Structure 1
Amino acid sequence: MELRRYLPSDLTQISQLFYDTVHTVNAADYSKEQLDVWATGQLDLDNWNKSFLTHYTLVAVVNNEIVGFGDITMEGYIDRLYVHKDYQGQGIATALCNALENAIESDQFTTHASITAKPFFERRGYRVIRAQQVSRNGVELTNYVMEKNK
């Protein structure tokens, strides 16, 4: 596996990976209605690209296929961290998260973790600050504000 910086040409693969991962991996913790508003299949690609270019963004690649991606702000907020549905449990999220955390000069890291991702972040030393409900198109989704000191 290779980790490298994000390129705008990665966006098509990333958008499909995001949709597929949410609708399979997160299906154990969220309803179909919740999954449909979380990952609609209609991403604002221009906004995602701008966000990825503003943040420190990495992709994980195996055999020229993007198998994971993550991004972090300069303040230490992990915005997105997703691993391809067929590559779960292979250390890709750990490698991405290690690289993201090591790239930023911050004393503290934060994220808004899904129910599914919460145990991963807890194993990394993050603690839950609070559970919260996020509304998307009138549908409530639970996630967790989590933080870790460096």
Structure 2
Amino acid sequence: MSYRVIDVAGDVGLRAEGKTVEECFVNAGLGLYSLITDISLVTAGEKREFSLTEETLEDMLVSFLNELIFQFDAYGFIGRDIKLEIKGNTLEAALFGEHFNAEKHERKLLVKAATYHNLVLKRENSHWIAEIIFDI
């Protein structure tokens, strides 16, 4: 996993990296999950799939992360593993995890949304870097 928390006044940010844009997105998603709970306690027993289409990779990243937040808020689903593929303007994702259980999973932050504020998504040398700020 290649992500770390960024100190942001009033909110929380993540910096994720990957050798490919897909790996960068996966690491951003895992980083998001780690803000919500200790993902080492999550069992990857259930699978959720979704796809989305966006004009730019930046829009795709924000939409992807907001879909993960929606899956948690609406259905209580927390992931431990993410597989995804980007083809043109379409992202196809498979999430592996389980329903959040307060007796099993520690609750950390209440993440409301991924934002465009100071959003960074760029290729630097041979890897991709994303910096995302979340409303909490």
TM-score (norm 2): 0.26
- Normalized per residue, the structure richer in strand is 2
TM-score (norm 1): 0.25
Higher-RCO chain (CA-CA 8 Å, sequence separation at least 6): 2
